[in-house]
Amino acid sequence: MDERDYLTTRDVAERLGVNVSTVRRLIRRGELQARQVRGVYRIKLGEFERFMFNRWYQEKQACWF
């Protein structure tokens, strides 16, 4: 596993402007895919990008109606 390809929950929280507990909640709900490595969540960079695109797309859809 190349560390540069993965983000921590803290990295994701900073990028989203939310608390780390919010990121963990997104993971538990299945909205953000992650894997646990030695008890710590790791989120693939591509998965985070997918999550952000879906979030952006949903916001755009909401604006159209």
Q: What pLDDT sits at residue 55?
A: 83
Task: Name the CATH topology of 3-64.
Answer: Multidrug-efflux Transporter Regulator; Chain: A; Domain 2 (1.10.1660)
Q: What pLDDT sits at residue 65?
A: 55
Q: What pLDDT sits at residue 25?
A: 97
Range 9-13 contact pairs with CB under 8 angstroms and sequence separation of 24 or more: 9/34, 9/40, 9/41, 9/43, 11/43, 12/43, 12/48
Does the CA dihedral 1-39-26-14 come out positive or negative? negative
Enumerate the domain spans of the chain.
3-64
- Which tokens belong to 58? 């949903």
Q: What pLDDT sits at residue 4?
A: 78
Q: What pLDDT sits at residue 45?
A: 96
pLDDT per position as a tens digit, 2-61: 667 999 999 999 999 999 999 999 999 999 999 998 999 999 999 999 999 988 777 666
Q: What pLDDT sits at residue 6?
A: 95
